[in-house]
Amino acid sequence: MFDAVASMAALCGQCRLWRRAAAAAQLHSGVRCLSAKFDYDLLVIGGGSGGLACSKEAALSGKKVAVLDFVEPSPKGTSWGLGGTCVNVGCIPKKLMHHAALLGGAMKDAQKFGWLVPGQFTHDWSTMSEAVQNYIRSLNWGHRVQLNDKNVKFLNHKGTFKDEHSVRAVSKSGKETVLTAENIVIATGGRPKYPSDVPGAAEYGLSSDDLFWLKETPGKTLVVGASYVALECAGFLTGIGLDVSVMVRSIPLRGFDQQMAHLVTDYMESNGTKFLWKCVPTKVERMPKGQLETTWRHLESGQEGKAHFDTVLWAVGRAPETKALNLEKIGVEVNDKTGKVIVAANDATSVPHIYAIGDVAEGRPELTPSAIKAGKLLARRLFNSSTELMNYDNVPTTVFTPLEYGCIGLSEEEAVRRHGEENIEVFHAFYKPLEFTVSERDSSQCYIKVVCFRNSEQKILGLHFNGPNAGEVTQGFSLGIQCGATYSHLMSTVGIHPTCAEEITKLHITKRSGLDATVTGC
Ligand code: FAD
Ligand code: NDP
């Protein structure tokens, strides 16, 4: 619809009315009439979390907006629809598969609560993956409908900068279109990395881009890496009954509070995930019967190890997706080390009318809600007279491992590094979720800590929660911390009984005291 109208008329950037392009230019002679000069007020490259949010928000202000989204198939040939990483190969399939795994645990617990579960129960990968994939397809469709409803022009094309205001868009079939825009947003996200020094890595291994779209079970799996993606995937694969090993090069969950991270991996180990600590892979080969023989080296002893797996999953980090963009040509600066686009606080790149948001932007959290919020705020600043900048302080997050870990703010290590141990007070507790009692689950890793300043106000610097529904718990407390909550605010908060979250409002043992932090009774 937009194309047909655009050929006759343009939305005037000055008076916000649809006019014939020539008439609009005439009307504002002497004043620049944007739409007479460019096809669009805003062109977004990348239809993921950030790009979709930005484009829809801009369209709400009556702007003429286009989005390009194109998925380059993974080395294994996996591809998907509109919506970006989160929808297709990230948060959504991951959380649903995590839920599938939790249901298995709940079925075991159920028997203790009186449910008669007939016979052995096993998990069927293809039923789960088909259901998850169908849901994702409905989201892909929903995103298309939303763009259409908001009059955002969508092109399933890959974008490459031609010059500072024009982008060459190429479809799968090679059809080429050039679009011009006054403002351009780069929201191209990132893709999984493969190690370049491990023969057979890309040839035989998979990444998270493939895992969620497998039609058949991955079987016995080696997960290489020890951060969010690695531990979450290893967690749900173990939870649905697969034999899973995780190869950890250094520490788990780099950047997170290490006491919490080790409790997460302890819980995983006690639930059957195997860990190959301080090891790096050196080679992957396919055996005559199809299994993947993986060789590794122990970093301290230098000893070699070897085992056969059905699947090797690389979860060794993600690289920003900038290759196709031609950024050098138009002078958009990238960080040589990370490859990410360098941005100012207002998301502007080194070319002022070109912006970058989400995973592709340097120094931003790689999380969907922050990409969405950044995209909306950018659109409001561009087209709605707003001056509000995205606040990246105290962004909460949760690692959806079998025992979930939610946090906001500083880790204990980071608080000590920044402010000195003598200025930090840590309140902590080991607690037992009520639902773990009857089911006789081990609660050794259910732990909470709140990191505060030690001075009289005791402002909270970080909150860490290991336990069931950590995302739900952490989200609520993040409001308080965003509002500058102190330890005394926490103590004046009345708990909801019986919940795990209420334990946060009852923390009274300091780490410094050395007293037993185990919660006993209500
Ligand atoms: P993306 O969502 O990656 O979108 C970028 C889009 O641009 C893609 O569709 C891409 O194909 C397209 N594109 C790239 N180049 C071009 C081009 N030249 N032309 C046209 N289109 C192009 N975050 C959370 O908050 N919670 C979670 O639970 C969570 N779980 C995750 C689990 C996994 C396994 C992974 C990998 C990530 C997870 N994330 C999670 C992170 C989250 O998915 C990302 O932070 C988020 O998707 C980033 O959004 P974005 O808009 O920056 O990029
Ligand atoms: P990260 O960059 O966070 O972690 C990469 C991991 O791979 C590290 O453990 C690293 O070890 C290891 N590694 C890197 N190279 C090698 C190698 N050659 N051999 C062995 N191990 C290696 O990447 P992720 O992909 O896990 O996560 C990317 C981002 O996606 C996260 O930062 C997060 O923001 C987002 N995400 C969010 C989720 C959520 O909100 N729940 C879930 C999943 C992802 P080392 O520490 O030694 O470098």
CATH of the domain at 454: 3.30.390.30
pLDDT at 396 over 50: yes
pLDDT at 424: 98
In a domain, 239, yes or no: yes
> Which range among 114-128, 175-189, 235-249 shows the weakest confidence by mean pLDDT?
114-128
pLDDT band at residue 28, thresholds of 50, 70 and 90? very low
What is the pLDDT at residue 318? 98
Q: Could you list the residue range(s) of the whole structural domain that residue 274 is in? A: 201-316
State the average pLDDT over residues 476-494: 97
Q: Is residue 514 part of a domain?
A: no
Residue bearing tokens 């952490």: 474
Residue 521, domain member (yes or no) = no
Q: Does residue 106 sit within a domain? A: yes
Confirm whether 452 is domain-assigned. Answer: yes
Q: Whose CA is nearest to atom 13 of ligand 2?
A: 316
Using the 3D structure, point to which of 348, 363, 392 is the last residue of a domain.
392
Q: Which of 249, 250, 340 to mutate to test the pocket of ligand 2 (most atoms within 8 A of CB)?
A: 249
Q: How confident is the model at residue 456 (pLDDT cuts 50, 70, 90)?
A: confident
* Per-residue model confidence (pLDDT) at position 36: 57
Q: Give strand pairing partners of 163.
A: 166
Band (pLDDT 50/70/90 cuts) for residue 18 is very low
Strands (E), 265-341: 274-277, 279-286, 292-298, 304-309, 311-314, 318-320
74 and 206 both lie in a single domain: no
- In terms of residues, how long is the chain? 522
Q: What is the CA radius of gyration of the chain?
A: 26
Find the 84 Cα to ligand 2 centroid distance in Å: 18
Q: Where is pLDDT greater, at 233 or 34?
A: 233
Residue 118: what pLDDT? Answer: 85
Over residues 390-400, the mean pLDDT reads 97
What single-letter amino acid sits at 219? G
Q: What is the pLDDT of residue 117?
A: 87
Pocket-testing residue among 227, 399, 407, 469, ligand 2, by greatest number of atoms within 8 A of Cβ: 227
Annotated binding residues for FAD, written as ranges, equal: 95, 159, 359
Which of 363, 392, 421 is the last residue before a domain boundary? 392
Residues 387 and 358 in one domain: yes
Question: Do 305 and 446 fall into the same domain?
Answer: no
Q: Whose CA is nearest to atom 46 of ligand 2?
A: 254
Answer yes or no: do 173 and 46 share one domain. yes
For residue 359, the ligand closest to its alpha carbon is: 1
Point out the domain boundary residue: 291, 316, 341: 316
Q: Is the domain of 162 the same as that of 81?
A: yes
- 383 with 308, same domain: the answer is no
Q: Percentage of residues in the chain with pLDDT exceeding 70?
A: 93
Q: Could you tell me if 65 and 57 are in contact, meaning their C-beta atoms sit under 8 angstroms apart?
A: no
Residues 57 and 129 in one domain: yes
State the CB neighbour count (10 A cutoff) for residue 3: 8
Whether residues 123 and 211 share a domain: the answer is no
pTM higher than 0.85, yes or no? yes
**Closest ligand (CA of 170):** 1
**pLDDT confidence of residue 123:** 97
d(CA 158, CA 174): 10
Q: Report the first-to-last Cα separation within the chain, whole angstroms.
A: 63
Question: Does residue 30 surpass a pLDDT of 70?
Answer: no
521: pLDDT confidence band, cut at 50, 70 and 90?
confident
Same structural domain, 75 and 189:
yes
Domain count, the chain: 4
Mean pLDDT of the chain: 93
Nearest atom of ligand 1 to the alpha carbon of 233 = 34
Residue nearest to atom 52 of ligand 1 (CA): 358
Q: Has residue 518 been placed in a domain? A: no
Is the distance from CB of 248 to CB of 234 less than 8 angstroms? no
Which residues carry a binding-site annotation? 95, 159, 225-232, 317, 359
Question: Are residue 72 and residue 163 in the same domain, yes or no?
Answer: yes
Ligand sitting nearest the alpha carbon of 169: 1
Say if 325 falls within a structural domain: yes
57 and 160: one domain? yes
In a domain, 62, yes or no: yes
CATH number of the CATH domain containing 166: 3.50.50.60
Res 22: pLDDT = 36
At residue 15, the pLDDT reads 34
List the single range of 16-30, 66-80, 220-234 with lowest mean pLDDT: 16-30
Is 367 close to ligand 2, i.e. is its CB under 6 Å away?
A: yes
- Tell me the binding residues for NAD(+): 225-232, 317
State how far the Cα of 355 lies from the Cα of 58, in Å rounded to an integer: 14
Q: What ligand 2 atom has the least distance to the C-alpha of 398?
A: 41
Active site residues: 497
Q: Does ligand 1 lie within 6 Å of residue 167's CB atom?
A: no
For residues 335 and 357, is the Cβ–Cβ distance under 8 A?
Answer: no
The answer, yes or no, to whether any atom of ligand 2 lies below 6 A from the CB of 280, is: yes
Cα separation of 432 and 521, whole Å?
Answer: 10
450 and 301 within one domain: no
